[in-house]
Amino acid sequence: MKSLIYFIPMRQIEDIQQEIIEEFQDYDDWMDRYQLLIDLGQEQAPLDERYKTESNLIDGCQSRVWLQADLTPEGTIHFQAESDALIVKGIVALLIRVLDNQTPADILAADLHFIEDIGLREHLSPTRSNGLLAMLKQMKLYAVAFKAKGNA
Per DSSP, which regions of 45-147 are E strands? 65-71, 77-83
Contact predicate 90/132, CB 8 Å: no
Residues annotated as catalytic are: 61
How confident is the model over 75-118, as pLDDT tens digits?
A: 999 999 999 999 999 999 999 999 999 999 999 999 999 999 99
pTM of the predicted model, to two decimals?
Answer: 0.88
Q: Which residues pair with 80 in a beta bridge?
A: 68
Residues 100-115: b if buried by 16+ CB within 10 A, e if exposed: bebbbebbeebebebb
How confident is the model over 5-58, as pLDDT tens digits?
A: 444 445 799 999 999 999 999 998 999 999 999 999 999 999 999 999 999 999
